[in-house]
């Protein structure tokens, strides 16, 4: 008969060794260097002997799970969500005020000391007077949107690209790759990430394959590595295309907003027909070729009620996904059905998150479910636009953000395009969350960083103010953390160490 394992007093995401942590991909670049796995690993910061005094860290977010355990999140620490047994929660409560740690070393006290040491190591207990502050990791990846074509086989209602037949030439593409590697070396990046997009990038597949091969050649003789990804609507994926992408190591992100009519209402073919059946076929073709796509979901008023069905589909296929809120722009302003009501989106997403609870995935969803917020690592900017993200159009002009592709700042032929982009006062100003009105004292400020700056400016005329979606984020973050706690509580015990009785019996 198997001997029951004792649950650890503290459980966290690093105790699930086979669970993926992936970097969500979409038109934005919100990873902020998080594709470097070292930034996803929290290193406990305190060791024995413990300080003479400890106290509970201020500002902890705490809530109960239905089995009597509790989960805790310190918004000023990189430790992430921690699940506590009742004993650990009781010890945490006992340090509501600064308290001396007993010097005696009886078996009972040493057991408590071990838990206290863990609470301190994960920044739940701190020395009195110590101020926690997140360490913001500098981006190690220079990311670039390569606008391979302005043409598309869809006419999506929320698209901000004005369609034409223009394509990026091989000459412009190779100059772009040269510029990116030179900029990466000049500015201290260790990696270049290419996002081939459009339009529909697969309509210019020969360019994608050629430039990826050229970038691989550059990486082979450089200290800078390269990663390539295609952002696609999923329509033009044949078995041959899927095979070529896999052979060249090119990843793919597919846009899918719902199942059936929920997708078709927003993502229509040029002739007005629905596209879902073709996207579904494309996803299956990719999977059969051994290429797992990331799914990019755009949420609007129309698609909200279809999210549970969509999540079921994605969880059945075990596909990573990321969810973004619809952002209005000049071309979509007439599409009034896309504007979501605040209460509707909160209620619909809370219901959808509750739905996921019934079939928890092994991979973390901390950067997948609440728009541009990212709970994998603290950050003071929502995205990398204007700092480590360049948007190169089909003619070689460079903008800060895909939504500002028609407002170029410089070109690929400039001596230092990245410096010009960073120093430009034209268009998007990517302000630190600590400089945004309404954000400075917010518990969640280093996890949402104040929201999309382009959307905020369109709604308020300012970049230095909190997102118009602020109330939505605040309503959803506790549910997101709860989902992560349930994932940890479900899967971490599979890898917990045996208790002393089991070790003795062995």
Q: What's the pTM value of the predicted model, to 2 decimals? A: 0.90
Domain residue spans of the chain: 37-134, 141-426, 433-476
Q: Strand, coil or helix: what is 326? A: coil
Q: Strand, coil or helix: what is 205? A: helix
Distances (CA, A) of 210 to 143, 223, 242, 352, 453: 18, 21, 15, 41, 34
pLDDT in tens, the chain (506 residues): 333 456 789 999 888 876 655 555 666 766 655 555 445 567 777 666 778 899 999 999 999 999 889 999 999 998 999 999 999 999 999 999 998 876 444 555 567 888 999 999 999 999 998 888 888 878 899 999 999 999 999 898 888 888 889 999 999 999 999 999 999 999 999 999 999 999 999 999 999 999 999 999 999 999 999 999 999 999 999 999 999 999 999 999 999 999 999 999 889 999 999 999 999 999 999 999 999 999 999 998 889 999 999 999 999 999 999 999 887 756 555 555 567 789 999 999 999 999 999 999 998 898 888 888 888 888 899 999 999 999 999 999 999 999 999 999 999 999 999 999 999 999 999 999 999 999 999 999 999 999 999 999 988 999 999 999 999 999 999 999 999 999 999 998 876 654 433 333 33
State the residue for tokens 């070689």: 396
Q: How far apart are CA 170 and CA 109, in angstroms?
A: 70
Superfamily of domain 141-426: Aldolase class I (3.20.20.70)
* In 166-281, beta strands by DSSP E: 191-197, 225-232, 251-255
């Amino acid at each position: 008969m198997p001997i029951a394992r004792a649950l650890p007093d503290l459980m966290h995401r690093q105790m699930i060794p086979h669970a993926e942590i992936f970097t969500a991909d979409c038109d934005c670049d919100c990873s902020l260097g998080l594709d470097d796995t070292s930034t996803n690993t929290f290193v406990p910061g305190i060791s024995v002997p413990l300080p003479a005094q400890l106290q509970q860290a201020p500002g902890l977010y705490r809530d109960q799970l239905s089995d009597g355990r509790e989960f805790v999140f310190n918004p000023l620490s990189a430790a992430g969500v921690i699940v506590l047994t009742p004993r650990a929660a009781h010890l945490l409560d006992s340090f509501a005020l600064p308290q001396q740690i007993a010097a005696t070393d009886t078996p009972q006290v040493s057991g408590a000391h071990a838990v206290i040491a863990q609470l301190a190591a994960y920044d739940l207990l701190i020395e009195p007077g110590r101020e926690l502050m997140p360490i913001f990791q500098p981006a190690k990846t220079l990311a670039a949107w390569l606008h391979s074509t302005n043409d598309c086989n869809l006419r999506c209602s929320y698209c901000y690209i004005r369609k034409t037949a223009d394509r990026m030439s091989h000459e412009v593409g190779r100059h772009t790759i040269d510029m990116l590697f030179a900029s990466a070396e000049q500015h201290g990046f260790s990696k270049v990430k290419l996002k081939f997009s459009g339009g529909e990038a697969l309509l210019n597949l020969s360019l994608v394959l050629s430039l990826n091969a050229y970038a691989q050649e550059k990486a082979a003789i450089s200290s800078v590595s390269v990663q390539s990804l295609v952002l696609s609507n999923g329509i033009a994926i044949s078995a041959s295309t899927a095979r070529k992408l896999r052979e060249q190591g090119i990843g793919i992100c597919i846009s899918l907003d719902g199942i059936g009519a929920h997708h078709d209402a927003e993502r229509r073919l040029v002739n007005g027909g629905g596209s879902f059946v073709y996207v579904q076929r494309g996803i299956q073709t990719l999977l059969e070729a051994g290429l797992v796509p990331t799914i990019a979901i755009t949420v609007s008023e129309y698609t909200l009620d279809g999210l549970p069905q969509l999540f079921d589909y994605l969880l059945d296929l075990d596909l990573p996904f990321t969810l973004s809120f619809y952002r209005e722009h000049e071309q979509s302003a007439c599409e009034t059905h896309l504007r979501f009501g605040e209460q509707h989106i909160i209620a619909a997403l809370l219901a959808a998150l509750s739905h996921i609870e019934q079939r928890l995935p092994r991979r973390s969803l901390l950067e997948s479910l609440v728009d541009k917020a990212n709970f994998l690592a603290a950050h003071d900017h929502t995205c990398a636009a204007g700092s480590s993200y360049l948007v190169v159009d089909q003619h070689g002009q460079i903008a800060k953000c895909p939504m500002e592709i028609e407002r170029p700042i410089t070109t690929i032929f400039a001596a230092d395009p990245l410096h010009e982009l960073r120093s430009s006062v034209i268009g998007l100003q990517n302000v630190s969350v600590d400089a945004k009105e309404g954000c400075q004292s917010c518990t969640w400020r280093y996890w949402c960083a104040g929201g999309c700056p382009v959307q905020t400016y369109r709604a308020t005329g300012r970049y230095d103010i909190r997102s118009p979606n602020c109330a939505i984020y605040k309503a959803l973050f506790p549910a997101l953390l709860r989902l992560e706690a349930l994932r940890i509580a479900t899967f971490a015990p599979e890898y917990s160490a045996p208790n002393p009785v089991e070790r003795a019996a062995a």
